[in-house]
């Protein structure tokens, strides 16, 4: 009798343990399911936020339709020029080829889209590439983008430095004829920093990995000399 009672008690204990295990398993899977739902919701939320963030920018006056650069000239051949204001080779490019590009614009042979990217922030302690590019947007708003660009390259700071301060950028803008108060407020407010991010992101998506990069009607120009650029424009115009 006692043996049967013992077996019965043992069976009850086992059933109780199994019931507890089932409850524990349900609790665990319910918790896992909740976590998965939260993770999915978070990913969806981040995706929406990132998408909205990447689209929230205001392009300065003079920008192209996609807001990826500032346009000069209205010729039949398009030159896309990607430069970073901290890039020493970009400064050399401007010194060697700037006059040629200006002449092609004056002769109505080209439409130049200047893309002031911010690839080199890591070589500045103050994100100078972004600040300078955003300031060029302010200059475009004031109708002096090209003049400001030329002056920035003439005053280019060394890589690894803090770069030019906002006050120095404002002084340069005033020096090329921009209204100091309007331009200064635009620079200090970082009005075109979101635009700079857009320009840089779109350049990367277009396969641009370094500066300077020059394309004529979408094709990379390997010979980045005055003769090479002129020849590429002539060939594209045929």
Q: What is the mean pLDDT of residues 181-193?
A: 98
Work out the angle between the directed axes of helices 193-205 and 2-55 (0-180°, nearest 10): 100
Give residue 49's pLDDT band: very low, low, confident or very high (50, 70, 90).
very low
The structure tokens listed for 83 are 């430069």
pTM: 0.77
> CA–CA separation, 235 vs 86, rounded Å?
32
| 116-147 pLDDT per residue, tens | 999 999 999 999 999 999 999 999 999 999 99
Residue 80 main-chain phi, psi, to 5 deg: -105, 120
| 50-80 pLDDT per residue, tens | 444 446 899 999 999 999 999 999 999 999 9
């Amino acid at each position: 009798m006692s043996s049967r009672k013992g077996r019965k008690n043992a069976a009850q204990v086992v059933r109780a343990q199994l019931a507890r295990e089932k409850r524990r398993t349900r609790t665990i899977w319910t918790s896992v399911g909740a976590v998965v739902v939260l993770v999915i919701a978070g990913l969806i939320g981040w995706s929406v936020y990132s998408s909205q963030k990447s689209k929230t920018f205001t392009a300065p006056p003079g920008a192209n339709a996609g807001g990826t650069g500032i346009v000069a000239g209205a010729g039949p051949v398009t030159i896309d020029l990607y430069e970073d204001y901290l890039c020493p080779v970009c400064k050399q490019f401007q010194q060697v080829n700037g006059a040629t590009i200006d002449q092609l614009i004056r002769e109505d042979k080209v439409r130049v889209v200047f893309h002031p990217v911010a690839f080199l922030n890591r070589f500045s302690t103050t994100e100078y590439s972004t600040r300078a590019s955003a300031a060029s947007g302010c200059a475009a708003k004031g109708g002096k983008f090209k003049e400001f660009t030329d002056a920035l390259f003439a005053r280019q700071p060394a890589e690894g430095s803090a770069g030019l301060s906002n006050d120095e950028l404002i002084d340069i803008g005033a020096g090329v004829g921009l209204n100091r108060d309007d331009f200064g407020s635009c620079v200090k407010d970082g009005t075109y920093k979101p635009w700079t991010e857009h320009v840089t992101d779109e350049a990367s998506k277009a396969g641009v990995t370094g500066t300077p990069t020059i394309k004529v009607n979408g094709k990379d120009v390997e010979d980045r000399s005055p003769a090479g650029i002129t020849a590429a424009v002539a060939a594209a115009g045929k």
